[in-house]
Amino acid sequence: MNNASSYTEQIMDMIAKDQIKEAIQETQNLLKGSPQFYELTLQSARYSDVMKSIRMGMIDFSDASVEKNKIRFALIDMLRDLEESRQTNAAVQSEVQTYLEERAAIINNNTAEIKGNQNIIIQGGSDSQVNIQINKNPPKKDRD
């Protein structure tokens, strides 16, 4: 994902697939330092409240759908504003490009060496790959 347009399209796809929480997180990462970040934080809190109300049985399905759709619309509107700002404002364009480059560097350089005998738990981030190589014949230690 090299450019901002494809990144915002990916976030739009998350929204379309009802992956609202993930879309909010990705948008928060993109908008850090922007005045819209605070608006997005409010939308995140709103989404958490709706999901909590659903779990507790305090809101019916139709009301929950209406609230989730309002949140979706707000996210889409913020992404549209970002795209417009990015196209007309060099500072915004630079900030978005810097974020995307940093994100790509983290994803591409996400490596680690893990050593141990048993019970090793590995948790990878999204878009990361975990490769495990097992040496069945570890080197013998010299005993003096």
Q: Has this prediction a pTM greater than 0.75?
A: no
Map out the domains of the chain as residue ranges.
4-108
CA 64 to chain centre: 23
Q: Report the candidate in 83, 78, 96 with the shortest Cα–Cα distance to residue 33.
A: 96
Question: What tokens appear for 18 in the block?
Answer: 């009802």
pLDDT, average across residues 12-39: 88
* Higher local confidence (pLDDT), 49 or 31: 49
pLDDT, average across residues 31-48: 87
Decide if pLDDT at 20 tops 60.
yes
